[in-house]
Amino acid sequence: MMTLETLSTSKAYGGVQGVYKHQSVVTGTEMTFSVFVPDHPEGTRLPVVWYLSGLTCTHANVTEKGEFRAVCARLGLIFVAPDTSPRGEGVADDKESAYDFGLGAGFYVDAIQEPFAKNYRMWSYVTEELPAVIARSFPADADRQSIFGHSMGGHGALTIGLTYPERYRSVSAFAPIVAPSQVPWGRKALAGYLGDDSEAWERHDAVALIKNGARVPALFIDQGESDVFLAQQLRPELLAQVCADAGIACTLRMQPGYDHSYYFISTFMADHLEWHAERLRD
């Protein structure tokens, strides 16, 4: 059994905010993640919300800026924030040190292209290995899980939620990359990690998944109208249209004046947590 190392714990809103590290078999590296566990009666199993972060981020961005703890404490939600890519000595990176590929930009896929195939297996890490760690080490209820994320992490949340609708009771996102096959960030990442296999690309594209029959009851999306990435990289209108065609209830809120930052995310974080909590009730 792998050893979980506690890097820090702090009391917050009656619960515990922790940062932890373990040796990942899936990525072949050490992986760091954060977990907030609200105060709860001994023996209680709590619902879990998974938050996937965006390009260049680690677990720390949302942990420090997301303003989720007060709401999670009130609603009784465990909040889990993984990293966005493997890291460490020997882990391949983009040779041009571009922010949108390589370290910090794993795109929640299992890479098959060299030199990334060895370590960049974030799909398996987030959907298999880390959930097992959480179930073993925290008072998590495996039957009550939801997933959401931001930007690249919104892409990950949508594709994972659509792939495993029986596992996640609800899916939402802040400014997600909804159709990576059709935008520069996504095309670069999918080609770099998966090569030219169009079927593999479609498995990691929310719009393509829905066109190919994937279904969830509803999606909840917040998007800032002043987001500089809106027109070229995010394109939420594509998701809204494919959901309408498929009969999926998609709430897309365009938020005037908001950008792509954690000022935007933290403003609407409570709305998303409340939405998930409603669907995580027994």
**Residues belonging to the active site:** 151, 227, 260
Reading the block at residue 165, the tokens are 């609708």
User: How far is it, in rounded angstroms, from Cα 22 to Cα 3?
Assistant: 6
Structure tokens, 38 = 């609200």
User: What is the C-alpha to C-alpha distance for residues 47 and 33, in angstroms, rounded to an integer?
Assistant: 18
Q: Which one, of 88, 243, 92, 74, lies nearest residue 173 by Cα?
A: 243
Burial class (CB in 10 A: 0-12, 13-18, 19+), 39: exposed
**The tokens of 210 are what?**
């829905």
Residues 6+ apart with CB under 8 A from 101: 94, 188, 189, 192
